[in-house]
Amino acid sequence: MATFLVAIVLLILGYIFYSKFVEKVFSIDDSRKTPAYTEADGMDFVPMSWWKGNLIQLLNIAGTGPIFGALMGALYGPVAFIWIVIGCIFAGAVHDYFSGMLSLKHKGEQFPNLVGRYLGNGMKVFINILSIILMILVAAAFTASPAQLISSITPLSFTVSLMIVFAYFVIAAVLPINQIIGRIYPIFGAILIFMAVSIGIALLFNGQPIPNLTFSNLHPEELPIWPLLMVTISCGAISGFHATQSPIVSKTLKKESDGRKVFYGAMIGEGIIALIWAAAGMTFFGGTGGLQEALATGGPAGVVNEISISLLGTLGGILAILGVIILPITTGDTALRSSRMMLSETISKYLNFKGNGQILLVTLLVGVPTFLLATIDYSFLWRYVGWTNQLSATIMLWTATSFLLKSNKQHLITGIPAMFMTGVSATYIFYAPEGLQLSYPISLTIGTVLSIIVLIIYIKKIIDTRSHKTTNIEIV
C-alpha cells in the first residue's frame, strides 16, 4: 500500500514542481493573444475557461485507455507503478504540454504540420498518414467496444448499436466545439475522476493489501517488461494519441499560462487514474495470476464491471456501465474530429473546406473507413493501435526537441524521453505479434542498434547547434 500512496504523491509533486520548470523552459507570455481570439471562427477556435479545457482534455486523452491499459499492465506487477509515475511526469505530461503549446504557438496547427515545421516535409508526410491511420483505428475501436456492450444489455443488435454510436461521432465531429463537447464533456470528465477516486478509496479500506514495490516481473506468461509494458500502459504514462488531441483544446485557451493546467495537468490526472486501476487489478483478484484469469474470462470490460460492483455496489455498476460506454465514445468522437481537422489542414491549400457542407464531407471521408473497420474484431484493431501510438509519441518528442534546439533552450527535457521512446518503438515492432515476430534477443539487438544511430544523429544536431550559436556570437 505504501508504494501506491507514494506513487500518487509523486505524481502530484510532479505537477506542482516539474510542470513549472517545463513551462519556464517553453517560455510563455500572457500578453500574446491566443488563437482562440486571433483565429476565432465559432467552430473550432472558441475561447473556453481553463477548467473546462482541462476536463475536456482529460476526457479526450483518456477514454478507457488508463483503465483497460492499466489493468493489462498490472499483469507485470508493481513495476507498473514505476512506469506510470516516471513515464507520466517526465515523458507523457511533457509530451502533452509541448504538443498543445506548439500548436497554440502556431495558430492551432495540427500535429502533422508541427512535425513538418521542425522535422521536415518528409517526416510531415509520414506522420500525416500515420496520424490519420491512428485516428481511424482509435475511432473504430472506440465505436466497436461501446456498441458491443450496448447490444449486450439492450434489445438492439450490434449493427444497430454501431450505427447509433457512429452517427453520434459524426454529429459531434461537425458541430462547433462549444455545442456538445464544451457543454457536456466537462461533466463526463468529472464522472471519470469520481469513478477512479471512489475505486481508490474503496481499495484502501477493502482489507486486501495493495502490493508494494518489487522489480520482479510477475507476468503469468513471463512476457518481457521491456518494451511491452511501455506499450501496454500508454494512456497513463505516454501516448502519441494525445498529440492529436491537444491541438483541439489549444484552439480554446484564453491565455498561454492555461496550458500548464490543461495539458500537463490533465496528463497527471490520467496518470493517477491509471495508478488506481493498476492497483485494483493487482489487488482485487489476489495477484497477477487471478487477474489474468479474470481478463481471459470477461475481458477488461468484465474486470472493470466486477471490481466496480464488488467495491461500490449499485453505484459501482452504474459507474462501470458509464465508463465502458461513455468514455470510449467521448474519445472516439474527438479522434474523428481531429482526423477531420488533419485532412482539412492537408488539403486546405487546394480547396477551401470551411463551410458546413465541406466539413461534413471531409468528416465522411475519414468516417467511412472508420465505420467499416469498426465491424471487425475489436482486439485485432487495438493491437495495431499500440505501436502506431507510441511511434507517434516518439516523433512528437523529437519535434519538441528540435524546437528547443533551434530556440537554444534546455532540449534534454524532451530529448531524453525521446531517446527512451525511440528504444521502445524500435524494439517493439520487431518483437510484437503484430510486428515482425522476431525472437526477443534479436529484437533487442536491432532496437539497441537503431537507438544508437538515432543518438548519434541527436548528438550531431547538438554539436551543430552549438557551433552555429558560437559562430553567430563571433560574428557579432
The C-alpha angle 107, 241, 4, rounded to 5 degrees, equals 120
The arithmetic mean of pLDDT across residues 349-361, rounded, is: 58
Most confident of 4-13, 123-132, 284-293: 4-13
pLDDT 10s digits, 98-125: 999 999 999 999 888 999 999 998 998 8
Compare 146 and 92 and report the one with higher pLDDT.
Answer: 92
C-alpha to C-alpha distance for 61 and 244, rounded to whole angstroms: 9
Quick check: 236 pLDDT over 50? Answer: yes
Q: Which of 41-45, 131-135, 237-241 has the lowest mean pLDDT?
A: 131-135
What are the residue ranges of helices labelled H in 32-157?
35-38, 50-62, 70-73, 79-87, 93-105, 111-119, 121-153
Quick check: 351 pLDDT over 60? Answer: no
pLDDT 10s digits, 429-451: 999 887 889 999 999 999 999 99
- The pTM assigned to this predicted structure is 0.90
Residue 253 DSSP class? B
Quick check: 360 pLDDT over 80? Answer: no
Rg (CA), the chain: 21
pLDDT score at 474? 42
In the chain, % of residues over pLDDT 70? 91
Report in angstroms the alpha-carbon separations of 448 from 118, 226, 457: 25, 12, 14
Cell of 396: 512528437
Q: Which of 169-173, 339-343, 355-359 has the lowest mean pLDDT?
A: 355-359
C-alpha to C-alpha distance for 404 and 422, rounded to whole angstroms: 18
Compare 337 and 360 and report the one with higher pLDDT.
Answer: 337
The arithmetic mean of pLDDT across residues 48-77, rounded, is: 89
Scan for cell 464491471, then name that residue. 305
Cell of 315: 453505484
Quick check: 353 pLDDT over 60? Answer: no
Confidence of residue 46 (pLDDT cuts 50, 70, 90): very high
Confidence of residue 473 (pLDDT cuts 50, 70, 90): very low
Quick check: 140 pLDDT over 80? Answer: no
pLDDT score at 471? 53
pLDDT 10s digits, 271-325: 999 999 999 999 999 889 999 999 988 888 788 888 888 888 887 777 777 777 7
In the chain, % of residues over pLDDT 90? 50
Mean pLDDT of the chain: 87
Quick check: 150 pLDDT over 90? Answer: no
Tell me which fold the domain 2-386 belongs to.
Answer: Amino acid/polyamine transporter I (1.20.1740)
C-alpha to C-alpha distance for 390 and 36, rounded to whole angstroms: 29
